[in-house]
Structure 1
Amino acid sequence: MIFLLLLGVPTALGHLYLWRRLVVDTTRPRTLARRIGTLAIIGAFALLMSALVVTRRVPPEYGKFFAWPGFVWLAVLFYLAIALGIAEIPRRILLKRATLAPVAVGAGSVVDPGPVEPVEVVPDPSRRLFISRSVAIGSGIAAGSVVGYGMTQALGDPQLLQVPVTLDKLQKSMSGFRIAVVSDIHLGPLLGRSHTERIVRMINEQEADLVAIVGDLVDGTVAELGEAAAPLKDLVSRHGSFFVTGNHEYFSGHEQWISELDRLGVNPLRNEGLTVAGGIELVGVNDVTGKAYGDGPDFERALTGRDRNNPVVLLSHQPVQVSDASSRGVDLQLSGHTHGGQMVPFNFVVPVQQPSVAGLSKVDDTWLYVSRGAGFWGPPVRVGAPPDITMIELRSAG
């Protein structure tokens, strides 16, 4: 209910704004066009809410029929509202000028002009309709173009990024150790088995030393999405594949997914660690959302018994946990969660909650790498934040 209120109220207001600008301002009162436009806006809102509600209550094979149109419309609504908002100032200036010629009411003769009443400025309905319709059409074209481009980004192959990271404690013999990092795959009603197969193929082509899946793999239960996740069993790397929970795992039955991934050969790290290749301490902590499920992060447990002469590489879904990591001497944290903002201008909002939107940065003595993720949540759209799979190459300082 809280989720629906947080998203439902703003989208309802957004639809009201669209109704004013796209229907009321572009049609004449009590016409068939206005009635049809009003019904279309109401139907679009109902479609969007069904995507938010129905997809959570039916299997993905049925939910996709609501998710595709509903979530695409959500993206169009968002960018259409932005385009119309940007156009407000020029629109108002043009509407002010959209008047008939001034008319002097009650003027007298030339010889005896007599009292002249104030000039009456009469709006020109035809010009006002033309301006409103032009703004509506222009905004629609702009929004549609942005969403269309964003869909090609979201549904295309993730970018393959190569990121070198120098660690002071890394042995020279291990310089060049490569970790394939992927996050936020978001299997669900819009992304299924073929999406997983593509990610597995791209990772295997890199011949990584280790694979790290840093949370938000699924948006649904094992019964619904087990087949979609099955290709993960084909991941190949020299030292194995590892997984930590993201917030969406806790909405999808995290215990079942942990067992399923373990069965597929992807090793869950639940507040625990191990030594990899004799020289890297690989540690994983649960997502902070797990606190509400009695399964929160525990850094003390995860780091207990680790050899601090070796560099510590932490898998943690949310970048915000880097404050705990840096205070405990972690050398490198690998995270996701942010989607890089997914759709501009949300990349400017992410820093309110997280210390990094995407890419490599440093917090005290700890390197933080944040993947933009290989999938998407909600709209199948990415604008200014293409999906990625990252090859982290560890390098020795010596």
Structure 2
Amino acid sequence: MSRWIITFIIFSIVICFLEFYAFQALKTITKNKIIRLVWIVAAIAIYAYFLYVIYITPRSAGQTNSFQLAAGFMLTFLIPKLLLVIIMFGEDVFRVFRKGYSWVTPGETAVFESRRIFIAKIALGLAAIPFASFIYGIVQGRYNYKVLKYQLTFNDLPDAFDGFKITQISDIHSGSFTNKEKIQYGVDLINQQESDLMLFTGDLVNNMATEMDDWIDVFKTLDAPFGKFSVLGNHDYGDYVEWDTPEDKVKNFQAVKDLHPKIGFDLLLDEHRYIEKDGQRLALIGVENWGKGFNQAGNLAKASSEVGKDEFKILMTHDPSHWEYKVKADDFNYHLTLSGHTHGLQMGIEIPGWFRWSPSQYIYKQWAGLYQEFGRYINVNRGFGYHAFPGRVGIWPEVTVIELKKGTQNV
């Protein structure tokens, strides 16, 4: 059997197990046949739609809006049911002990039955929370743009750049967009920050250059007096599509690179630029994508070859694993690194100043926000757009504004 068939069989077994246990909770609290039937029909419809979309979507099309919608529906129904399974499976473990206990004290059985009904109600109530959250994330959360502001102080920042403001955006993923009015609102919000410099840290498209055709006029309105600069992300290389010929992939990659000047961005391909102000300057360095374990196209040494070691440096690199494994301990001293890529997995919990969690943190050490080590900073932008799952739950789309300050740096 092929790897795909084996994967499908395993996936089907897991889904059946999940659905069986989730249905037990419903059966425990209601005997209404209509409600049970609606539950079953909805589950079948969700899986059938997902399989249908996979079947009709050629590999050459990448992740279409239809695929994202189907995946979004499936996750919206699966994640709450997973919570149900965890609770109800735990209850079944308890029932094993109950069975033994009932042999000793038969009169206690009714007490345990009441307990199971209570647990089932609690489980369904808790499952309703992620269900409602995912619905909100698809309808509104993906457009719930947040402006996050940081003030960073450096001992060796050139005096002319004291108070200099940088806006960072990342992971536009234009192939996922469906609502021009909402995207225009996000772009206007970026311009409202009135920063001196604008930096985009990769993933302009999902896979194909044509995904940006309807959005060029929107994004070319972005403005910054000291310029707009960008780098490539892993999705910009077209690696996740099955191309008809190698030449088609090369042609698409060139078209993606050509998009950047069309929206007014200077694309840095293992290059640097100097930003000058009042006779002083800082170095802006941009590398191609470098990710731990895949697509290590970026060449940091080449990008920095004409930059002085003692100059103030800002590095743009799409994947934060680059900072973790190659950049942060480099004695060339990259003062500030800007990345994206993770999206914070587009789902999690963040209570500013108190608590934050996302499954993304089990994959990336630096997964969202600002980090500091060795006196050097990295900001991991949560992304402007969305990909795969057509929504955001708790991890909102981000516009980052960083103000550079001259002074004593806290290390």
> Which bracket does the TM-score occupy, shorter chain normalised?
0.7 to 0.9
Greater mean deviation of Cα atoms: 217-226 or 82-91? 82-91
Using the alignment, how far apart are the partners of 1:7 and 1:370 within structure 2? 33
Query: How big is the shift at 1:180?
Result: 0.6
Greater mean deviation of Cα atoms: 74-83 or 179-188? 74-83
Alignment match, 1:71: 72
Q: 1:249 aligns with which of 236, 245, 249?
A: 236
Residue-by-residue CA offset, 1:308-339 (whole Å, 9 max, x unaligned): 33211000111111132231321110011122
Structure 1 residues 171 and 129: CA distance shift in structure 2, 3 A: closer
Alignment match, 1:337: 341
Amino acid at match of 2:273: L
Query: How big is the shift at 1:174?
Result: 1.1
Query: How big is the shift at 1:254?
Result: 3.3
Using the alignment, how far apart are the partners of 2:5 and 2:212 within structure 1? 27
Alignment match, 2:247: none
Query: How big is the shift at 1:36?
Result: 7.5
Alignment match, 1:270: 269
Alignment match, 1:259: 258
Query: How big is the shift at 1:175?
Result: 0.7
State the TM-score, normalizing by the size of structure 2: 0.76
Using the alignment, how far apart are the partners of 2:181 and 2:5 within structure 1? 33
Using the alignment, how far apart are the partners of 2:58 and 2:189 within structure 1? 30
Paired residues in the alignment total: 380
Query: How big is the shift at 1:68?
Result: 2.2
Query: How big is the shift at 1:275?
Result: 0.4
Structure 1 residues 203 and 311: CA distance shift in structure 2, 3 A: same
Instruction: Indicate conservation of the 8 Å contact 1:372/1:385, yes or no.
Output: yes
Alignment match, 2:194: 207
Superposition RMSD in Å: 4.2
Percent identity between matched residues is 23
Query: How big is the shift at 1:151?
Result: 3.7
Query: How big is the shift at 1:274?
Result: 0.8
Structure 1 residues 350 and 122: CA distance shift in structure 2, 3 A: closer
Alignment match, 2:288: 286
Greater mean deviation of Cα atoms: 329-338 or 44-53? 44-53
Query: How big is the shift at 1:133?
Result: 6.5
Query: How big is the shift at 1:372?
Result: 1.3
Query: How big is the shift at 1:271?
Result: 0.6
Q: 1:155 aligns with which of 125, 142, 147?
A: 142
Structure 1 residues 160 and 56: CA distance shift in structure 2, 3 A: farther
Query: How big is the shift at 1:169?
Result: 2.1
Amino acid at match of 2:344: G
Three-state SS of the structure 2 residue aligned to 1:274 is: strand
Structure 1 residues 53 and 317: CA distance shift in structure 2, 3 A: farther
Amino acid at match of 1:354: Y
Using the alignment, how far apart are the partners of 2:65 and 2:170 within structure 1? 22
Which aligned pairs between 1:10-21 and structure 2 lie closer than 5 A? Answer: 12-21=12-21
Query: How big is the shift at 1:93?
Result: 4.3
Amino acid at match of 2:370: L
Instruction: Indicate conservation of the 8 Å contact 1:51/1:71, yes or no.
Output: no
Q: 2:205 aligns with which of 211, 218, 242?
A: 218
Query: How big is the shift at 1:135?
Result: 6.0
2:386 is the counterpart of 1:376: yes
Amino acid at match of 2:313: V
**Larger relative contact order, structure 1 or 2 (CA cutoff 8 Å, min sep 6):** 2
Residue-by-residue CA offset, 1:192-237 (whole Å, 9 max, x unaligned): 5445423321111111111111112221412233212442211110
Query: How big is the shift at 1:10?
Result: 7.5
Which aligned pairs between 1:304-343 and structure 2 lie closer than 5 A? Answer: 304-322=305-323, 323-326=325-328, 327=330, 328-343=332-347
Structure 1 residues 337 and 94: CA distance shift in structure 2, 3 A: same
Which structure has the larger Rg over C-alpha atoms?
1
Using the alignment, how far apart are the partners of 2:293 and 2:365 within structure 1? 20
Alignment match, 2:226: 239
Residue-by-residue CA offset, 1:68-127 (whole Å, 9 max, x unaligned): 24313313312331243135434654797699xx899xxxxxxxxxxxxx9799999x97
Using the alignment, how far apart are the partners of 1:291 and 1:94 within structure 2? 45
2:186 is the counterpart of 1:186: no
Using the alignment, how far apart are the partners of 1:130 and 1:361 within structure 2? 46
Amino acid at match of 1:86: I
Structure 1 unpaired stretches of 5+: 105-117
Using the alignment, how far apart are the partners of 1:205 and 1:256 within structure 2? 30
Greater mean deviation of Cα atoms: 298-307 or 244-253? 244-253
Three-state SS of the structure 2 residue aligned to 1:188 is: helix
Three-state SS of the structure 1 residue aligned to 2:344 is: helix
Query: How big is the shift at 1:25?
Result: 6.5
Amino acid at match of 2:161: M
Instruction: Indicate conservation of the 8 Å contact 1:159/1:388, yes or no.
Output: yes
Which aligned pairs between 1:63-142 and structure 2 lie closer than 5 A? Answer: 63-90=64-91, 93=94, 134=121, 137-142=124-129
Instruction: Indicate conservation of the 8 Å contact 1:204/1:236, yes or no.
Output: yes
Greater mean deviation of Cα atoms: 376-385 or 5-14? 5-14
Structure 1 residues 348 and 239: CA distance shift in structure 2, 3 A: same
Instruction: Indicate conservation of the 8 Å contact 2:271/2:286, yes or no.
Output: yes
